[in-house]
């Protein structure tokens, strides 16, 4: 059975801090790993990673994949209160590419 595990489950930081969120996976026929941000309602897509060692960047957010050690990290630098959200990672299911297996998410709270 495919598994995606995220850590920590929750995190509280001060504005301006840098945070690193972790996502490890056990997927038999790995294709990709996706990161989403969920503020209150719909998760919004952040990154899709398919290749090891290639950093994807969008503003203060960046992510990288390690296919040898089976994990990905999401970094947020100079955090702002607007970064407060649940961050989800997911990977396509082994059996059917249409299905995504999600982790439980990391709840990030950024305080002033």
Judged by the rule CB under 8 A, the positions of this chain that interact with another protein are 4, 6, 9, 31-32, 34, 36, 41-45, 48, 88, 90-92, 96-100, 102-105
Cα separations in angstroms, 11 against 21, 51, 107: 9, 28, 6
Nearer to another protein, 36 or 85 (CB): 36
Nearer to another protein, 15 or 101 (CB): 101
Smallest separation (angstroms) from another protein to the CB of 112: 25
Smallest separation (angstroms) from another protein to the CB of 42: 4
Nearer to another protein, 81 or 104 (CB): 104
**Coil/strand/helix, residue 82:** helix
Cα separations in angstroms, 95 against 17, 39, 47, 101, 112: 40, 30, 22, 11, 45
Q: How far apart are CA 2 and CA 30, in angstroms?
A: 10
Smallest separation (angstroms) from another protein to the CB of 13: 20
Smallest separation (angstroms) from another protein to the CB of 36: 8
> What values do phi and psi take at 18, rounded to 5?
-105, 135
């Amino acid at each position: 059975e495919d598994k995606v595990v995220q850590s920590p489950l929750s995190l509280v930081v001060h504005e301006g801090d840098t945070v690193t969120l972790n996502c490890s996976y056990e997927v038999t026929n790995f294709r990709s790993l996706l990161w989403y941000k969920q503020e209150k309602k719909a998760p919004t897509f952040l990154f899709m990673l398919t290749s090891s060692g290639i950093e994807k960047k969008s503003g203060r957010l960046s992510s990288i994949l390690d296919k040898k050690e089976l994990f990905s990290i999401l970094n947020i630098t100079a955090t702002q209160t607007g970064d407060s959200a649940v961050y989800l990672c997911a990977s396509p299911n082994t059996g059917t590419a249409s299905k995504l297996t999600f982790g439980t998410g990391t709840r990030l709270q950024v305080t002033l």
